[in-house]
Amino acid sequence: MQPYHRFRALRALLLASSLVAPAGAFAQAQDESAAPEAAPASEEGEIIVTARYRNESVLDVPVAITAISGDSLNDRQLHNIQDISTTVPTVEFRTGASNKDRTIFIRGVGTITTSPGVEPSVSTVLDGVVLTRPGQSTLDLGEVERIEVLRGPQGTLFGKNASAGVVNIVTRNPTDELQAFGEVGATTDEEYRVKAGVSGAIIPGTLKALIGGLYTKFDGNARNIVTGDEVNGFRRYGARGKLLFTPAPNLSFTLIGDYLNSHDIVPTAIYERTSQTVYPTGVVNNSPALAGILAGLGVVASPTNRTAANNFNADVRDKNFGVSLTSELGLGEYQLTAITAWRKWLNRQHQDFDGIATLAVGFPQGEDFGDVDSRQFSQELRLTSPKGGLIDYVLGAYYLHADTDERYQRTITTLPGPVTTTGVANYGITNDNYALFGEANINFTERFRGIAGYRSVWDEIDFYHVRTSTNDPTNQGAINPALDRPGIRSYHNATGKLSERGDSYRLGLQLDLGERAQTYFTYSRGYKGPGYNVYFNMRSLNTTNSLAGPVVPLDEVPLKPETSKAFEFGIKGNTADRSFSYSLAAFRTDFDDYQANFADTVQGLQVTRLINAGSVRAQGIEGDFTLRPTRGFTIDIAAAYTDAEVREFNCPVGAPTSCNINGEPLPFAPKFKLYSNAAYRFAVSGDLQLELQSDISFRTETQYNLSATAHTIQPAYAIWNASIALLSTPGDWQARLFVKNIANESYSSFLQNGSAAGSTRFVPRDDKRYAGLLLRKDF
């Protein structure tokens, strides 16, 4: 850790610790006068979650889980999963210029790919519906009841793509009484946010509804020096409606529809440096040519640079919408649940491939256009038994049909010449997923039980890929590798199909330690299905053995399923007066046939291929603690130590010797991460309360690249936030003034190689200090 960054991180930690204000965002119950509760509470004040498809206290669930309430999300300005990753130590988020490049990591494991033929390792579930593409999970959350983050393999119940964990989003339900709310927010750097909604009974006791909408806009916190525009901003608007119909006491239907329209203006390249450090030699390759080009454009590369020099403002337009129907039937003490859902995701991107507004030898210019059309239909059926007796269980069946069609066009201009080449690829994936699953508790005694869960999965996947290039007008590229050019691959026409069956399971023991604590041990097998690396540069000219060996179309060979074996030991509980709550978990997960992106060399050119990278391991300790030293004062502390590394890497054929990365850390896996959040709420008059709140997040250095390059490491940093709020005692209005990044700490949310040289950074929303005001009124 560099001295400068060490000093700033330490200073922020000391300043935050000196405040009497670190808020109850985590899944621990609170006093009624304290900060908003993390999730719905039972009559006894315990937090209720649905991590096992039944309402349970968070203390009873033998899973490492964090639950964050919608109120806390709203008060702390956490509007998407990227924001949430700052508050949950074992969660990380990989950003990118486009939604399709972004993904979630839990305990150091996630899947980085733009291919529609591979599923993510972390499953995002919205009101019981699995979102199949990573880009769908970047949605603005709007009004939600809570978010549950389940760590480790969750395949037995949530299935599909949950080999590393689940982010379960539960939206608000309609109310019986007529209620409405309105909310406005604004910041000093001109971000504006408006939300409003209404809820109530249409037919008392039978039909009730909720509808809410949002609009938010931010011009950005970076600048494109070529166009003169502010960039790195967004504009989003959308709505969600819920209709709950209860024709009989034991029968209900919930119809949900949602729509979100997003327009992100994220620069393709903001240069952090003009050199690259070679792994493992540590040799620094400086690029005077890149430094000269940037200087001529008026850009200075640095870790705090917020200036881009793109030919145009790269942007992404995104539509994310769907509808679901949840039917619930009570069969005596049993519950039958069916969820029928359809969703669509449309993504349109326009990217500056090279990110430099100067054409020079060795620095080609490129312009990309991409279109994604993804549809999914799913049907789930579950039977939940009553609790008690020798065995209680959840049994179910699941079906998913998903289609994704993409078109990607890249135009490259190079010197000498200039020579301009355009390549167009049309490709797609169809995926049918079938599963039978169940999980049961075997109650040996009232306090001691066994846990057994199993899921059997069938995947059927087929793809098509057709690419043409103006550099190859006679379509000879399939037999003439000399026609390949950097960034543009010649003609390729391929199809493929596979069918595979896999298994997930969980076994464990759980022991209640008195009335208010429990301990558990589980062993789980995670499974993520096979796939194809279908993307623009998909190619068929790679050799599997020596140069004299046969030519084999490696990219048309399916990726093997990714499997994991996980051990977890946990203990959780609280005191009788709930003044102290705790949750501790120790874990180890070994992944085989890990699906990952890695740099490869094909005919002397650097490319990126999604491969079965070998075996990796993640192990560590997590802890969540809540203290309530006095009424109205709540302190939450969450910390994680994660040791995630490559155990045995499979070097692609022809790759450089630097691919020997055994023992190197996995990307997006800081060794240590801390989040502390506290609030003190007290009465200032008969009907007014004041809340003082502060939070801090800290992490050690983070590698962003599986290739272990030194120039893609983000040094350690800490971010300190605070707010002060005036609230009515009934809780029907609040005015909150907040400050983000008080210490003005600059950091990069992602670092990557430049297209030709150097490295570029992505600028996070809170890269510099800003303040804001939030006003909310409930009617």
Query: Measuring CA to CA, which residue among 424, 429, 376 is closest to residue 404?
Result: 429
What is the tally of structural domains in the chain? Answer: 1
Section 463-485 average pLDDT: 65
Q: How confident is the model at residue 767 (pLDDT cuts 50, 70, 90)?
A: very high
Least confidently predicted of 121-130, 371-380, 550-559: 550-559
Section 613-626 average pLDDT: 94
pLDDT score at 18: 34
Could you tell me if 722 and 738 are in contact, meaning their C-beta atoms sit under 8 angstroms apart? yes
pLDDT score at 19: 36
Q: What are the distances in angstroms from CA 20 to CA 23, 308, 666, 729?
A: 11, 40, 37, 22
Predicted confidence (pLDDT) per residue in 724-742, tens digit: 999 998 888 999 999 999 9
pLDDT score at 68: 87
pLDDT score at 547: 37
Pairing outcome for strands 56-57 and 65-69: unpaired
Section 740-760 average pLDDT: 93
Residue 534 falls within a domain, yes or no?
Answer: no
Least confidently predicted of 138-142, 441-445, 732-736, 758-762: 138-142
Tokens of 651: 């070097």
Query: Measuring CA to CA, which residue among 706, 707, 702 is closest to residue 89?
Result: 702
Share of the chain above pLDDT 70, in %: 87
Residue 397 falls within a domain, yes or no?
Answer: yes
The conformation of residue 410, written as its DSSP 8-state character, comes to: E
Q: How confident is the model at residue 653 (pLDDT cuts 50, 70, 90)?
A: low
Predicted confidence (pLDDT) per residue in 44-103, tens digit: 445 778 888 888 888 888 999 998 888 888 888 888 888 888 889 889 988 888 888 888
**Domain membership of residue 96 as a residue range:** 3-529+539-778
Residue 759 falls within a domain, yes or no?
Answer: yes
Query: In this structure, is the dihedral angle defined by the CA atoms of residues 231, 135, 73 and 747, taken in order, positive or negative?
Result: negative
pLDDT score at 133: 86
pLDDT score at 180: 95
pLDDT score at 326: 97
- Global pTM? 0.88
Q: Which residue has the tokens 């507004």?
A: 357
Query: Alpha-carbon distance 513 to 516, whole Å?
Result: 7
pLDDT score at 82: 86
Query: Alpha-carbon distance 84 to 107, whole Å?
Result: 15
Tokens of 282: 């540590």
> Which of the two residues, 492 and 397, has the higher pLDDT score?
397
Residue 378 falls within a domain, yes or no?
Answer: yes
pLDDT of 219 over the 90 cut: yes
Q: What are the distances in angstroms from CA 2 to CA 9, 187, 683, 700?
A: 11, 32, 45, 11
The conformation of residue 311, written as its DSSP 8-state character, comes to: S
Could you tell me if 634 and 35 are in contact, meaning their C-beta atoms sit under 8 angstroms apart? yes
> What ranges make up the beta strands (E) of 470-546?
492-512, 517-528, 542-543
Query: Alpha-carbon distance 392 to 382, whole Å?
Result: 13
Q: How confident is the model at residue 241 (pLDDT cuts 50, 70, 90)?
A: very high
Predicted confidence (pLDDT) per residue in 298-307, tens digit: 999 999 999 9
461: CATH? 2.40.170.20
Query: Measuring CA to CA, which residue among 79, 19, 31, 21 is closest to residue 725?
Result: 21
The conformation of residue 231, written as its DSSP 8-state character, comes to: E
Q: Which residues 6+ apart lie within 8 Å of 463 measured at CB?
A: 117, 427, 428, 429, 430, 494, 495, 496, 497, 532, 534
